[in-house]
Chain A
Amino acid sequence: MSTMHFHLRLWKQKSKESEGDFVEIDAKEIPSECSFLEMLDIVNNRLTIEGKEPVAFESDCREGICGTCSMVINGIPQGPGRGAACQVYMRKFENGQTITVEPYRVDAFPIVKDLVVNRSAYDRIIRSGGFISEHTGGAPDASTTLIAKPVADAAMDAAACIGCGACAAACPNSSPMLFVGAKVTHLGLLPQGQAERKSRARNMVRTMQEEGFGNCSNYYACEAVCPANVPASVIAMLNREYIRGEMSEAVGAID
């Protein structure tokens, strides 16, 4: 198996309060077939053997579905190509290339250490309305709800969001509206989601703003980096749903 060499610039930062900076590391003899995170594993193990502290970064499933990865590779959140950072393979890089790896730069995602950021703001957005209120045991037989295939498919495309935060990290406004729009679209398209449709959009967008995220101004950077291929059209749907929700409350309508 052939090997490759890379020049890495890795972000090191002890904690949220401390100053961070890039460290330069030559990553030599990296198997060309390995993934980006496996390359970082090799580098970290070498640092450990040298008695140095490895670079902290998050990952878990390493197959692009859990959304735990959260790094920016050469300026691209979740790295080049489709899929999450764990789906990036070294064969996509040039031998000898300089690769810069840094954490998401989003105020609402404070840095924990090195490449690790705190994305709990996304959980709080979901907790404010990203669900259908129902209780276990109260459901009618599944076959009583017919959902046309195109509707189910569109809901699935939005529901595919992995909650990784790349959308906010890519956006010049740090807007998470692809994430919020994905959930509002997924649930808003389905008949089960109708009861809370207006309050859902209203509450989620308000929480998003309270958390310090910005709004969408149509850069489409989120769509370009989304590892789950969530289309930017979910933001259009979110805007419609949100306006409807706010109007409804403003005029005192029952929703």
Chain B
Amino acid sequence: MSELSVNHLLGIKYLNKNDIELIFETADHFKEVINRPIKKVPSLRDITIANLFFENSTRTKLSFELAEKRLSADVINFSASQSSVKKGETLIDTVNNILSMKVDMVVMRHPNPGASVFLSQHVDASIINAGDGAHEHPTQALLDSYSIREKLGEVKGKNIVIVGDILHSRVALSNIYALKLQGANVMVCGPKTLIPKHIDKLGVKVETNLHKALNWCDVANMLRVQNERMEISYFPSTREYTQQFGVNKTLLDSLDKEITIMHPGPINRGVEITSDVADSKQAIILDQVQNGVAIRMAVIYLLASKIKQ
């Protein structure tokens, strides 16, 4: 097994267990590379990658760009806010115009769920989904699992709780797929209004009491409340949300065991987690960011190796 089963990374839903294992093994090698005095390898020197961000991003965009540059790919960046999209150009037209400049791979973030799947059916390039609306964010889920594997040895059999705004979160859905595929036990925890109906069909437990959830888990992945995606109020006030679903040091100290805290960023300090938790040694938030580069290098390398010359 030395090849991915897919030509695009559209979502974790389309991957199998071997794909994830291969990505992790490749990421191990890249993690060693990015800790060298010179952190660059020439593998992708004949590949051009376009980063198309139709939605704002800091971390993911920087992480992808760094991964691409560490692999020696040529990189072009595109942000919707400064482009002809504002003038009424369609997605396919925009992308085809960019592809006619001989681009081999597209990394895309888009506010509409399914945008990357749609694109993969209509253009001739390898597509990586960097987040499509509230649907999937596969590289985030991969780096989350990779960070758990690094911290706890393996993902299989571990209890992971995803806390917060499950309804609007692509990170939650991708994480559920990835964790289930690797044999972890998954729970979601948050206000009832922010937990999608029928989510238990995905094989996850649902809990609305944070203290119970934290006592059950080995790892808590804290999500941000996505105010920008909320057209109506899902809870009475931020203060009330924090009281019920925010993690603070007192709460962590009251647990029976020491759990690991993750956060995909950006953190709203004082809302979903307090500063003393975010900066504690139980939190692996900055490890996640470092692993993100290695994971994205692995995904890009493995997909690029399937692009025929």
Are A and B interaction partners?
Answer: no
Residues of B that sit less than 8 Å from A by CB: none
Binding site for B on A (CB under 8 A): none
